[in-house]
Amino acid sequence: MTITAVSEDALSPAERRRRKVRDAIIHAAEEIFTEEGEAGLSMRRIAERIDYSPAALYKYFDSKEALFREIRESFFERLHDRMKAVTDNIKDGPLLCTPCMRAYVETGLEQPGHYKLAFSAFPDEKDPEEETYAFAAAGHLHQMIQFSMDEGWFRKMDIELAAKSVWAASHGLTLLAVTIPNFPCGLPGLSLDPEAFRDPDEAEVRSELDRLIAFHSEAVLRGLGTRKLLSRLDEGETF
């Protein structure tokens, strides 16, 4: 599937103004969602936040559900592009790797409100559109797993099930990181180290999250890997 993105320079002044308003609507929706949750999010509340009339918002999004679809698509566009940038530079090893999981987590952390809203109230669509970045991202994940199987890094398995498992592992870690302040530091009940309960600085949180991403990624790789991959992991190599 090929999706062509339109650059800002290619837009007319009217189109740029329209995009600016759409971006303002999305930003307001993310802020309200973060402050009040999904129950507090409505087109009227968004209109109040950006000083527009509710009727004017419907020129850009015909419903709250359409707005949610736009936000999800924006997230998956960024995710697809980040993942492709990582895998395009892999010369040895499985395409599914620690840099991929790190890219996923960082994409969520860049805009936490955006990430949480993107996965809120997922629609029960009978015929979802295939020409979307959500489909492109899912397709790329399937290709990564298939390539890793073909090259002997991953054992033969149900690709659809493997993709869901990998996504669940990545999403779970990311959701914790965007929801819990200072995750993974300072969580009572998850550490036996008394020092873990003091307030960590940003560098400590980043360092501990990097360690957790690497550990989490290796756990996933070991679950999917063949002896070829496991032996190299046992030798201390990282992928």
CATH of domain 71-122+129-234: 1.10.357.10
Domain boundaries, the chain: 11-62, 71-122+129-234
Q: Quick one: pLDDT at residue 122?
A: 62
How far apart CA 44 and CA 57 sit, in angstroms, is: 9
Contact between 165 and 216 (Cβ < 8 Å): no
DSSP-derived letter for residue 181 is T
Average pLDDT, consecutive stretches of 10 residues, N- to C-terminus, the chain (239 residues): 54 83 89 82 92 91 87 87 92 92 94 83 59 88 96 97 96 94 74 63 91 97 97 95
Q: Quick one: pLDDT at residue 71?
A: 83
pTM for this prediction: 0.80
How far apart CA 19 and CA 130 sit, in angstroms, is: 23
Q: Quick one: pLDDT at residue 2?
A: 46
DSSP codes of every residue in 5-22 = PPPGGGS-HHHHHHHHHH
Segment 38-47, tens digit of pLDDT: 788 899 999 9
- Class for the domain spanning 11-62: mainly alpha
Segment 81-113, tens digit of pLDDT: 999 999 999 989 999 899 999 999 999 999 888
Q: Quick one: pLDDT at residue 1?
A: 47
